[in-house]
């Protein structure tokens, strides 16, 4: 059933594609998120912006 929903959504997008402005907005958000992940992985994320005690289950590294 889930595949049918995605097929209907894809057909809707094929008939009414998003505007170029919306595509640029989504790509900018994805690029910003990727840049934040890269900064964190390289260790360039500032200490004041790190979370000391997060909520949820702690998994050992």
Q: Where are the domains of the chain?
A: 17-46
pLDDT tens-digit series, residues 5-61:
999 999 999 999 999 999 999 999 999 999 999 998 898 888 888 777 667 676 666
Q: Are 45 and 39 in contact (CB under 8 A)?
A: yes
- What is residue 47's predicted lDDT score, i.e. its pLDDT? 84
pLDDT tens-digit series, residues 31-40:
999 999 999 8
Running DSSP on this structure, what letter comes out for residue 47? G
- What is residue 16's predicted lDDT score, i.e. its pLDDT? 95
- What is residue 33's predicted lDDT score, i.e. its pLDDT? 95
Q: Would you say the C-alpha torsion 40, 45, 47, 53 has a positive or negative sign?
A: negative
């Amino acid at each position: 059933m889930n595949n049918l929903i995605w097929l209907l959504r894809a057909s809707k997008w094929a008939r009414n594609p998003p505007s170029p402005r919306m595509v640029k907005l989504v790509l900018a958000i994805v690029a910003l998120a990727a840049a934040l992940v890269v900064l964190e992985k390289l260790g360039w994320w500032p200490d004041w912006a790190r979370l000391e005690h997060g909520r949820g289950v702690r998994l050992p590294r």
